[in-house]
Structure 1
Amino acid sequence: MTTTSATTSTTAQGDDGAAAERVASLVVAELERVWAAIIRRHPDVPPVVVTLASGTVGVPAGSITLGHFAGARWEHLERGDLAELFVAGEGLARGPRDVLGTLLHEAAHGVGHTRGIRNTSRQGRYHNTEYKKLGMELGLSVAKADPIGWSDTDVPDSTAAEYADEIARLGAVIRAHRRSEHVALTIGAGAGAGDDGETGGGEDVRASNNNGVAALCGCEPPRRIRVAPSVLTLGAIECKVCGEAFTGPDEQDKAD
């Protein structure tokens, strides 16, 4: 089995431009190779299209979506449907071992997809005991993190030793990472257009939302309310239909 990549390269000129174009593509190529190495060890892991993008757009400050697996998101002209593996550019800052952990975490979801095992609920946020089994099968240590279930995964020393070559190769190509959308970015004097075409000039670019956050319950499909984050921290808001607490984006996005 092989993987297919999709990423956006930058347009630049000269030697520096050529180097800039390789920042993302080298990482994506290595992510593909690591995924192929996981498939060799676990044949039920499906082939994927690898995407590298932001994991902090649309999530609350302090949160990051490190990775995500989704089945049949791409349609190939010859091979039919392909799954998607998303990896956050911000997560590259965590280092190659943790990046491997993200891939193994998502590969466990991939095995569940191949075998038809329901391993999550609440739109993929809650990881049940079936996911715990799959994560351990892939070589992860798995701990429970309420209220999102068995989603706290880590790469133990034994698995790191097994994937030592892959970790080393990832370390060799990860030379940059994406800034969080939640970090103020000062655009230097004389800079050109900022993000979304806005003109730079020393402004602080910050993410803010004064309308509260979306909180979801355990119903299928979940019911949604908007609430101030400070209210959520005061205690559980229980859904009278399913009996479960509404969870905010911090709990929804930690693991996936």
Structure 2
Amino acid sequence: MTESDTITGLLVTALEQAWAAIRSHHPEVPDVVLTVGAGSTGTDLTLGHFASYRWVRGEYEMHELFVGGEGLQRGAADVLGTLLHEAAHGLAVARDIKDTSRQGRWHNERYRELGEELGLTLTQHPKVGWSLTTMPADTRTRYRDQLHELTDALVAYRRHEPDRRSGRKSNNNGLAAQCQCGRKIRVSRTTYDVGQIICGCCRTTFTSSD
């Protein structure tokens, strides 16, 4: 970082450039207004979302791309994976394809096809469908420059919001942590603070609300 750089400026620039790169490879993916903020509410965690026609610019409506600040600790590859995941939803809007059901939670076969078109590998989860995404080697190579830019920009992340329902930060059983696919574990504070704990199913970080 130079004196003219800010954490926000680096992050937003890298995310916007990554989205522009996705659109250069897949021109049907729509333009968006990028927002970054809190993705956690108690035990729930949102890594990102694509919301259609949420912003107004003059006579035009624009889509929203949200990136949850808590997910930035997962690293450049997983953050880019989130962008590609949301780009698949954007492609569905552009093509008028119904890619989800159950209030947007269940990702159907049409979504899987769109995700694969954008270079993702998708696996099915019993509760959310074809939502668990990873990037194969050829996709990482295609976005090599963007991964470098994201790596340089991801210098901070947002803490998970505490679970206000319990009124406690922790207990004698350790910290409760949850990954994107909904698996939960308990670990000691010492173990949790050593470094990221990655889920073997969805490849996302177990995040604690304690």
Could you tell me the TM-score, scaled by structure 1's length? 0.62
State the number of aligned residues.
170
SS at match of 1:153: strand
Aligned residue in 2 for 1:196: none
Deviation at 1:157, TM superposition (A): 1.2
Aligned residue in 1 for 2:96: 116
C-alpha distance after superposition, 1:117-149 (max 9, x if no partner): 000011110000000000000000000001211
Deviation at 1:250, TM superposition (A): 4.9
Letter in 1 for 2:35: T
2:57 is equivalent to residue 76 of structure 1:
yes
Aligned residue in 2 for 1:155: 135
Partners in 2 of 1:125 and 1:73 — Cα distance? 19
Partners in 2 of 1:146 and 1:157 — Cα distance? 26
2:34 is equivalent to residue 39 of structure 1:
no
C-alpha distance after superposition, 1:178-203 (max 9, x if no partner): 11113xxxxxxxxxxxxxxxxxxxxx
SS at match of 1:144: strand
Q: 2:7 aligns with which of 23, 41, 45?
A: 23
Aligned residue in 1 for 2:87: 107
Deviation at 1:30, TM superposition (A): 1.2
C-alpha distance after superposition, 1:39-77 (max 9, x if no partner): 0100110000000001113xx42x410000011000002
Partners in 1 of 2:82 and 2:70 — Cα distance? 12
Aligned residue in 2 for 1:137: 117
> Who wins on radius of gyration, i.e. which is larger?
1
Partners in 2 of 1:93 and 1:132 — Cα distance? 26
Partners in 2 of 1:135 and 1:54 — Cα distance? 25
Aligned residue in 2 for 1:126: 106
Could you tell me the TM-score, scaled by structure 2's length? 0.76
More strand by share: 2
Partners in 1 of 2:47 and 2:63 — Cα distance? 17
Write out aligned runs for 1:148-227 (5 A): 148-182=128-162, 207-209=163-165
Letter in 2 for 1:70: A
Larger RCO: Structure 1 or Structure 2 (Cα < 8 Å, ≥ 6 residues apart)? 2
SS at match of 2:129: coil
Query: What is the RMSD of the two structures over their aligned residues, measured on CA atoms?
Result: 2.2
Structure 1, unpaired ranges of 5+? 1-14, 183-206, 211-248
Deviation at 1:100, TM superposition (A): 0.3
Deviation at 1:25, TM superposition (A): 2.3
Letter in 2 for 1:172: D
Q: What is the identity percentage for the equivalent residue pairs of Structure 1 and Structure 2?
A: 46
